Amino acid sequence: MLLGAPLFYGCSGFRGPDMKVSGVVVSHATDEGLELEIYLDLANNNDTGTELRLYEYSVWVDGTRAYQGVWAAEQTIPAAAERSAMVPAVLLDKQLGWSKEARPEQVRMKIMGNVLYIAPGQLAETLLEWGLYQPRQAFGAEDSIELIIEKKIPEKAKSSSTAP
pLDDT tens profile 104-124: 999 999 999 999 999 888 888
Q: pLDDT value at position 25?
A: 95
Q: Which residues of the chain have pLDDT under 70?
A: 1-12, 151-164
Cα separation, 111 vs 163, in Å, equals: 24
Task: Note whether 5 and 132 are within 8 A (CB).
Answer: yes
**What predicted TM-score, i.e. pTM, was given to this entire model?**
0.83
Q: pLDDT value at position 69?
A: 97
Q: pLDDT value at position 164?
A: 39
Q: pLDDT value at position 73?
A: 96
Rounded to the nearest 5°, which phi and psi values hold at 3?
Answer: -65, -30
- Tell me the pairing of strands 106-118 and 136-146: antiparallel
Q: pLDDT value at position 162?
A: 43
